[in-house]
A and B are shown apart, each in its own frame.
Chain A
Amino acid sequence: GQQVMQIPQYQHVQEGEDFTTYCNSSTTLSNIQWYKQRPGGHPVFLIQLVKSGEVKKQKRLTFQFGEAKKNSSLHITATQTTDVGTYFCAGHWGNTPLVFGKGTRLSVIA
């Protein structure tokens, strides 16, 4: 079945450093979504990207969708301790159910 590969699996950064997580599909996606899950919490929707080459920003977070709609990235500038959690990408191919990557767990050292 369809899947999205997400790397890295873990990332430890010092507070103030930048962080990037990448998501890849072997086939063209219809759209991609990003979610954040705090430890012990539930996934929270961050954003959806639909268009080829799309870039969206939310404060310190920048989301990109590749030109071929096969990859996406989430970049956080100047991480803070509140950014701690696991970031998941999730993709749709046509009308398929949303398929989640395994996530990137971010630790921020103060």
Chain B
Amino acid sequence: NAGVMQNPRHLVRRRGQEARLRCSPMKGHSHVYWYRQLPEEGLKFMVYLQKENIIDESGMPKERFSAEFPKEGPSILRIQQVVRGDSAAYFCASSPTAYEQYFGPGTRLTVT
């Protein structure tokens, strides 16, 4: 059973560009979570999705950020008009039960 997959692993964007981060959950997992991690910090919850539904987006900034988990295909975290402060590692996790979470390798976003 393949683990959670994320791509790209590294992404460099100039200020003002868009960043699209993809996450394919483990087979059979219907719960997907996105987290953001700054260096030397813990993980900050952003959004929790199930297929075609956003369950909890309380950690998502109100502007420029959006997430989806379509019926077919990976979950996508989209950041529009990136700014330097968006530079971070973004982790996706999936779960079969909404309890223990299995993390992907992350996408390291650098905004120049």
Contact = CB atoms under 8 A, between A and B. Distances in A.
Q: Which of A45, A90, A92, A101 has the most CB of B within 10 A?
A: A45
Interface stretch (B12-20, B73-81, B102-110): B102-110
Contacts of A44: 103
Given A97-B45, A98-B45, A100-B43, A42 B56 contact: no
A14 B81 CA distance: 47
B69 interface: no
A43 B99 contact: no
B42 A42 contact: no
Interface in A38-63: 41-45, 48
Interface string B27-48: 0000001010000011111001
A102 B59 contact: no
A33 B95 CA distance: 13
A88 interface: yes
A102 B41 contact: yes
Nearest to B102: A45
Contacts of B103: 35, 42-45
A99 interface: yes
A102 B44 CA distance: 10
A43 B59 contact: no
Given A45-B100, A48-B100, A101 B105 contact: no
Given A97-B48, A100-B43, 7 more contacts: A33-B101, A41-B105, A42-B103, A42-B104, A45-B101, A45-B103, A88-B43
14 contacts: A33-B101, A41-B105, A42-B103, A44-B103, A88-B43, A97-B45, A97-B48, A97-B58, A98-B45, A98-B101, A99-B45, A100-B42, A100-B45, A102-B42
